[in-house]
Amino acid sequence: MSARILAAIVGIVAATVMLLWPAFYNGQAFFFPDTTTYVRGADAAVQRLTGASTPWTLPANAGSQHVRSSVSSIKDKTVLSGRSVYYGMLLYLGELAGSISLSVGIQALLLVLALLATLEALDMRGWRYAVPLIIVVAAFTAAPLYASFLMPDIFSGLTILACGVLLTCNMQGHRAQEAFWFALLAMALTFHTTHVILALAMLGVGALLYIWRRPPAIARGLGAIGAALVAAYICGAAFNLAVTKLVGEPPLTPPFLMARLVDDGPGYRYLVDTCPQNGFIVCKFIDRLPMPSDEFLWLQDPKRGVFASSDPAVRRALSKEQYRFALAVMGHDPWEQIESSARNAAAQLMLLGVPEFDYIEESKTAFADKIPHAYFQVMKHTPAYLGTMPAHSISIVSYVSTASGLACIIFLLVSARGKGTEQLRRVAQLAVLVVFGVIANAVICGTMSGPHDRYQARMAWLIPAMALIAHFAVYRAWWNKLFEFRSRA
């Protein structure tokens, strides 16, 4: 092995460790109440096929006084489609390797490789660019938290970055790069439905750019994104078929859209005006409405909840009718719903905090019920559980770095308009596409699920990263001289 290859491997490992600093500080990767659904889904599939079991196969903390039934249940034939078995397999592989926490190492490694591949695609080779970029992302963004999170959140930003690079950088003759971006994108698309919607939005913008200018690079990128979407569709269809054969019913999608419309107001007013004549099952819960969307979906109190507290047949009926319900609400009061959705999207765009990394009491109770005893015993001594994780400080850093990064992108691209180099043109296009993707995410998540910090903070790292890359492009000569001077020194 040459010294150059060895140095590259050491550098990548060091960067991966640097991006995992929150997990090391916490003493454990970060859990979320949904984490258990992901890993148990994969575990159940493997157990059914092979008979092998893990600590996740057994009821977590069986002696707990707070044990609650799972909304996603093979026994009840209500397997949820929003919790990807493919991401669950990533967590399951970590468990097989010794600990589920090892899975975040793969996430951090993929983030490092994506950042390096972005620089490579933009002809910014060498550690003179890679080192500052890794340091900025590790120290001044929330990306390390989401890389250390046992959730598919880090792949939201990687979806946008992959689509942006494929649409702006000519991969012809660079098969290894193209294969990497395709594989990363296809993987991300199987991990969550919102990633698919994001990719479709990026595909639409790319198609408009192609119609406008018809550059071959965009045509090739459109093909790669389209192929990744097809691969994700095939994987989704395979999952649906497997669940149908296993439990006798296809997986169901929680009624996120219905819950959002009711919470916004137009959905509730539609029910008040038209129930029970409209025929919707949700009418039977009208005396409990309105309520926040999260309570509509997940509250398990049989006297107050809607979806999670209902029997399997009602859950499936609510899932099936949500899109008809959305169309009916839009027809009943379209302008008010458009106004509410726009307000949600704007609110989502402004939420960049990271409160999930200081566990709230409700999450602690869920963890005590759901995760294996050995993991929970470690968790009880972590800063996230004890409330000493510097989540508030990191939230401030996230806001400041995102706002300053966006300002820098605008300033740099406006001030460099006359320079017209090919590299700068590609960087400018990539920056615009990334910003578009971040805004599209706010629209998608804000209107379909509702504003939550996590939905936007998990990809906010893209903005300061792109700001630094734009700085590299505009002041490339300055960066070269800086590192040449240090090398001589």
**Residue 477, both tokens:** 């000569």
Q: Give the pTM.
A: 0.90
Q: Element (H or E) spanning 271, and its range?
A: helix 266-274
For helices 312-332 and 256-264, the axis angle rounded to 10 degrees is 50
Report the alpha-carbon distance of residue 372 to residue 58 in Å, rounded. Answer: 8
Q: What is the reported pLDDT for 279?
A: 87
| 32, 92, 281 from 391: Cα distances, Å | 15, 27, 41
Helix (H, G, I), strand (E, B) or coil at 146: helix
412-432 tens-digit pLDDT: 878 766 666 777 888 888 999
**Closest C-alpha to 126, from 287, 219, 7, 208:** 7
Distances (CA, A) of 130 to 122, 210, 290, 374: 12, 31, 50, 38
Low-confidence ranges of the chain (pLDDT < 70): 1, 58-78, 173, 214, 216, 416-420, 476-489
Q: pLDDT at position 62, please?
A: 41
Q: Please say whether the dihedral angle defined by the alpha carbons of residues 60, 66, 72 and 78, taken in this order, is positive or negative.
A: positive
pLDDT score recorded for residue 420: 65
pLDDT at 153: 95
Q: So what's the pLDDT on residue 440?
A: 95
Q: How much of the chain is in helix, strand and coil states, percent to nearest 5?
A: 70, 0, 25
Give strand pairing partners of 73: 78
> If we measure between CA atoms, which residue out of 124, 116, 114, 119 comes closest to residue 476?
124
Helix or strand holding residue 116 (H, E): helix 103-121
Give the dihedral of Cα atoms 348, 41, 61, 307; nearest 10 deg.
50
The DSSP output letter for 345 is H
- Nearest-5° Cα angle at 192, 346 to 292: 45
| Phi, psi of 149, rounded to the nearest 5 degrees | -100, 130
pLDDT tens figures, 176-205? 888 999 999 999 999 998 999 999 999 998
